[in-house]
């Protein structure tokens, strides 16, 4: 988003914690980030003073993490700078204490990626309707502009060796019990032998578990290890989507799921657990949902997707692609410009 705002002609100053993926990506994009520290949820007077110095002359302070609300809200409270929060995660518990009132009411614009996320946020926080907006998560133009590879070409590029006639169901994301890879393995024996599974991702860092080894052992115990394929995390996952027949979003509670939007942009049929934001993404015929944590329901959803007629598949993919297009650069830039002009142009503070 910082890069897009810069390309739109805005002056952008980006702060990030050194060594994080955001920091590394900012350097790659020549954004010249300045280092910030992990602030506590309740900022000190010195933290607030430093933030005010850093944002002096800025029209908007744009944050992504709820933990920064206290610092950002206090810094903007007696300043002409407007506070914008772009929400990426669900709010789990009600925010009813008096300090929540001050933090949330100091926000000039709170942006949610889905309508369901907005409804939940309004129900659990002191935010009111006029503060909240729904704008989809952004996707780079490459997801739409890069020519589609044939499945054979994509699989060869990834080094996958599949038997002739194999159907490939895949997931992309860190290997973690909450992401549902175990559920995928439980569902695989109920699917025809030509259906194979591809997991792309590495173990979740610092949770004390080697999920990849546990998944391998589970596949062996189920007698399906020859139908399960593994790739580590990679920078360019476009060939992965092009190699798939079905994308499976199996997380037990995914807030939005950028990978689901990526699959839609690459015109891959999606099956997803009816939990979190996935249900809204796949609603209205854009994909097949199944009951979360239910392996039999996942297998049934995969069979139903593979059984679609050509006309049914095209209709589903067209609907999904149209939703994904709302995340592309041209669409997003116009929406964000209107919001920023509205926020900055208003003489009112939250």
pLDDT tens, 97-136? 998 999 999 999 999 999 999 999 999 999 999 999 999 9
Q: Is 328 strand, coil or helix?
A: coil
What is the per-residue pLDDT across 307-337, written as a single tens digit (0 to 9) for each? 999 999 999 999 999 999 999 998 998 999 9
Asked, colleague to colleague, whether 39-138+328-345 and 142-325 share their fold, the answer is: yes
Does 37 have pLDDT greater than 90?
no
Q: Where do the H-state alpha helices sit in 159-210? A: 181-187
Residue 350: pLDDT band with limits 50, 70, 90: low
Instruction: Say whether pLDDT at 346 is over 80.
Output: no
What mean pLDDT comes out for the span 19-39? 91
Beta strands in 254-329 (DSSP E): 270-273, 288-290
Q: Which residues pair with 246 in a beta bridge?
A: 169
pLDDT of residue 90: 86
165 within 8 A of 136, measured Cβ to Cβ? no
What are the φ and ψ backbone dihedral angles of 147, each rounded to 5 degrees? -60, 145
Residue range 329-343, pLDDT digits in tens: 989 989 999 999 999
Give residue for tokens 């015929």: 285
Any idea which fold 39-138+328-345 has?
Rossmann fold (3.40.50)
pLDDT at 254 over 80: yes
Domain ranges of the chain: 39-138+328-345, 142-325
Hey, how many other C-beta atoms are within 10 angstroms of the C-beta on 295?
20
Q: What is the pLDDT of residue 268?
A: 98
pLDDT band at 39 (very low <50, low <70, confident <90, very high): low
> How far, in Å, CA of 338 to CA of 335, rounded?
5
> What pLDDT does residue 216 have?
98
Q: Across residues 233-246, what is the average pLDDT?
A: 96
**DSSP symbol at 57:** T
Is 65 a residue whose pLDDT tops 90? no
pLDDT, average across residues 179-208: 95
Q: According to the model, what pLDDT value does residue 228 have?
A: 98
- Please give the pLDDT value at position 11: 95
State the average pLDDT for the chain. Answer: 94
Q: Give the Cα separation of 88 and 134 in Å (integer).
A: 12
Q: How far is CA 244 from CA 86, 153, 196, 221, in A?
A: 31, 11, 10, 25
pLDDT of residue 66: 87
Place of tokens 């019990």: 177
Q: Report whether 265 contacts 322 (CB < 8 A).
A: no
SS3 192: coil
Q: What is the pLDDT of residue 78?
A: 86
Q: Average pLDDT, stretch 156-179?
A: 96
94 band by pLDDT with thresholds 50, 70 and 90:
very high
pLDDT given at position 107: 96
Look at residue 276 in the predicted model and tell me its pLDDT.
85
Mean pLDDT throughout 260-280? 95
Please name the residue that has the structure tokens 């394929």.
229
Residue 247 CB partners (closer than 8 Å, separation 6+): 169, 170, 171, 172, 241, 259, 260, 263, 268, 269, 270, 271
> In whole angstroms, what is the distance from residue 130 CA to residue 180 CA?
37
Q: Please state which architecture CATH assigns to domain 142-325.
A: 3-Layer(aba) Sandwich (3.40)
């Amino acid at each position: 988003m910082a890069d897009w705002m810069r390309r739109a002609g805005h002056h952008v100053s980006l702060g990030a914690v050194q060594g994080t993926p955001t920091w590394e990506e900012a350097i790659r994009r020549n954004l010249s980030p300045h280092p910030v520290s992990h602030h506590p949820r309740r900022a000190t007077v010195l933290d607030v003073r430093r933030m005010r110095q850093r944002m002096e002359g800025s029209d908007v302070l744009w944050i992504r993490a709820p933990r920064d609300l206290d610092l950002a809200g206090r810094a903007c409270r007696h300043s002409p700078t407007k506070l914008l929060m772009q929400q990426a995660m669900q709010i789990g518990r009600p925010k009813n204490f008096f300090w929540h009132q001050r933090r949330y009411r100091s926000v000039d614009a709170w942006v949610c990626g889905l309508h369901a996320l907005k409804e939940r946020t309004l129900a659990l926080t002191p935010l009111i309707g006029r503060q909240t907006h729904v704008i989809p998560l952004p996707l780079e133009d490459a997801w739409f502009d890069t020519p589609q590879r044939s499945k054979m070409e994509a699989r060869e590029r990834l080094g996958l060796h599949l038997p002739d006639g194999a159907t490939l169901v895949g997931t992309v994301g860190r290997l973690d019990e909450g992401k549902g890879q175990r559920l995928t393995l439980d569902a695989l024996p109920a699917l025809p032998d030509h259906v194979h599974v591809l997991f792309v991702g590495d173990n979740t860092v610092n949770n004390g578990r080697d999920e990849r080894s546990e998944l391998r052992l589970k596949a062996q115990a189920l007698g399906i290890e020859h139908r399960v394929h593994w790739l580590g995390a990679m920078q360019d996952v476009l060939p992965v989507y092009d190699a798939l027949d079905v994308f499976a979003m199996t997380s037990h509670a995914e807030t939005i799921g950028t990978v689901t939007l990526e699959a839609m942009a690459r015109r891959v049929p999606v099956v997803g657990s009816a939990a979190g934001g996935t249900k809204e993404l796949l609603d209205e015929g854009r994909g097949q949902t199944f009951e979360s944590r239910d392996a039999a329901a996942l297998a049934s959803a995969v069979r139903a997707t593979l059984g679609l007629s050509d006309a049914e598949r095209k209709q589903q993919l067209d609907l999904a692609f149209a939703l994904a297009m709302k995340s592309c650069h041209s669409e997003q830039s116009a929406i964000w410009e209107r919001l920023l002009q509205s926020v900055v142009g208003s003489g009112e503070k939250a």
